Each structure stands twice: as C-alpha cells, then as structure tokens.
Amino acid sequence: MLEPGFHDVPPGHLAAVVTHLEMRAPPPRRDGPDPGLALEHVAAPGTGWYRRLFRRVGTDWLWFGRLVMDDAELAEVIGDPKVEVHVLRDGETEAGLLELDFRTDGDCELAYFGLAPGYTGRGAGRWMMTRALASAWRPGIGRVHVHTCTLDHPAALDFYIRSGFVPVRREIEIARDPRATGLLPETAAPQVPLLRP
C-alpha cells in the first residue's frame, strides 16, 4: 500500500488512478434517440483488424493493454469463446469497440468500451452501453464490472456511474508510457505530458 503523500513516477512512465466499478443487478434501461448505428458481433476477429480498431478508439486515451501482447497471446484472448468482440458501425465506418469477457464464472467484464474520435457526446455511448448491458446480463451472471482511469475520457467515470455502475475500489497503476516505447505515436494524447526517459 502506498503511504499518503507524493510518489515519484520514473521518466518514461505514466501514473493513473484506476477506479473499479460494478453492478450486481441489471439497471433500468437508459434508452435515448437512435443514433443510426449498428453493433456487430465479430465472431473471429483477426489480430491485425483488432489492433487497428483498438488504436482508432484508444490512442487518444493511451490504451496499450492489447498492444503489448504478441499475436499469439492476443489471438488467444480475443479468440476465446468466452470473450465477445463487437464493433460499433456507422455505415461502413468503425465507430467503437466493445469487448465482453465471460471467462470468470458468474461475471462479465466490460474489458473494453470506447468510441472513435468524433463519436462522443452524440448519444452513441449510451446507445452502445444499453446494448452492452443487455448482452452482459444473461443467465448465470451475477456481476458486471468495468474499470476506468484518469487517462480515459474525462466523462468516462461519470458515464459509467450514470449507466448504473457503482465504484467499489481504487488503485494506482504505473506503467511504461506507450509513446516512450513506440507502441503509440509521441503525438498521441497531447493532454498527457510525455516525460522522456
């Protein structure tokens, strides 16, 4: 456990406050206007396609969790029959990513939930969350959980709470900055200063 006070973060690294949230019962449905989108389940996602969508959705927020995996490791996760990958489509445009992980009995994790640039603030997130929760709450599921961090969109935490999730735990994550390692371009997430090693 960290003691109260300030703690140095090494150059070339990031520090984020991670908030874990959960729900133990389906929340009231939050329908809104239909944004004219479609949520498509991708039964056999390829690693190249997945990484392109992951980058499109997550680069502005320094998502790196799937980028540090080699092809075999990533294929094992997204190819697992208990992991469901969905793409949000606006016509032919890939507008968002939803990944549901059922690998722990009785649980569903919203492992990844995000929109591509230009799709926030238009009702797309609420529309996609309504469908995500309808898919997550299936027979045998007693808990749906997600986590977000201070590197995510500034409205992410409030969005999850409004969607029915309750914060249950907080931790600090220190990780190599994906811009310093070359996983993401140095121009990604200009709102987060890059402290070079």
Contact 100, 83 (CB under 8 A): yes
pLDDT at 27 over 90: yes
pLDDT in tens, 33-51: 788 999 999 999 999 999 9
What distance in Å separates the CA atoms of residue 64 and residue 151, rounded to the nearest whole number? 11
Read off the pTM: 0.95
Cβ(120)–Cβ(155) under 8 Å?
Answer: yes
- Residue-level pLDDT at 34: 81
**CB of 177 closer than 8 Å to CB of 14:** yes
Per-residue pLDDT, averaged over 43-60, amounts to 97
Q: How far apart are CA 141 and CA 138, in angstroms?
A: 6
131-189: per-residue pLDDT in tens?
999 999 999 999 999 999 999 999 999 999 999 999 999 999 999 999 999 999 999 99
pLDDT of 31 strictly over 90: no
Angle, helices 47-58/71-78, rounded to nearest 10 degrees: 90
* pLDDT value at residue 170: 97
User: What one-character DSSP code corresponds to residue 79?
Assistant: T
Q: How many CB atoms lie within 10 A of CB 31?
A: 9
Confidence of residue 30 (pLDDT cuts 50, 70, 90): confident
Under 8 Å between Cβ of 16 and 173: yes
Write down all domains in the chain, each with its CATH number in brackets: 13-176 (3.40.630.30)
